[in-house]
Amino acid sequence: MPIERTFAIIKPDAVAAGNAGQILAMIETAGFKILAMRKHQLSRAEAEGFYAVHKGKGFFAELVDFMTEGPVVLLALERENAIAKWREVMGATNPDKAEAGTVRKLYGTNIGRNASHGSDAPETAAFELSWFFRGSEMI
Ligand code: CMP
């Protein structure tokens, strides 16, 4: 399995609830190296650009409102098979459908307020990492 990078967000609901530390512990326990990490308040332009692929969908405005309601934690992660592994640790997008013990089952509320984000493919990971981090910051 190749060493791979992925991009993660601990979303505003999880940060506000004080769950960021527990989620970071899950990330490290799962064998990820944290290459870069930043607490950040997204602007609407940043959130709209980041989620541009969802523009036009019914939930887009709700998604942007939620992602800008409070600070998030942005992460660049690395390990073997990082993209699939982080998606496994997060669980299904809808916390109701997520496996027990996953981030979204433990800390998510519903499909919109679902505690965390992860890239879904190598091209998306490259785009998402570059949206928030310079290459020299990922160490
Ligand atoms: P995320 O992995 O960040 O990628 C896109 C996000 O859109 C997703 O998590 C959900 O939080 C959100 N989303 C997807 N589908 C819906 C939906 N039907 N209603 C509200 N939010 C959604």
Q: Which protein residues touch ligand 1 with a CB less than 6 Å away?
A: 54, 59, 62-63, 93, 111-112, 114, 117
| Residue 117 is among the residues annotated as catalytic for this protein | yes
Number of domains observed in the structure of the chain: 1
Indicate which residue of 5, 79, 104, 117 is catalytic: 117
Per residue in 34-50, pLDDT (tens digit) is 999 999 999 999 999 99
Which residue from 50, 69, 83, 111 has its CB within 8 A of the most atoms of ligand 1, so it is best to mutate?
A: 111
Laid out side by side, the sheet with 3-10 consists of 33-40, 72-80, 3-10, 116-118
> Which CATH number belongs to the domain containing residue 48 in this structure?
3.30.70.141
pLDDT value of residue 81: 98
- Domain boundaries, position 84: 3-137
pLDDT value of residue 69: 98
Structure token digits, residue 101:
């013990």
Per residue in 87-139, pLDDT (tens digit) is 999 999 999 999 999 999 999 999 999 999 999 999 999 999 999 999 999 99
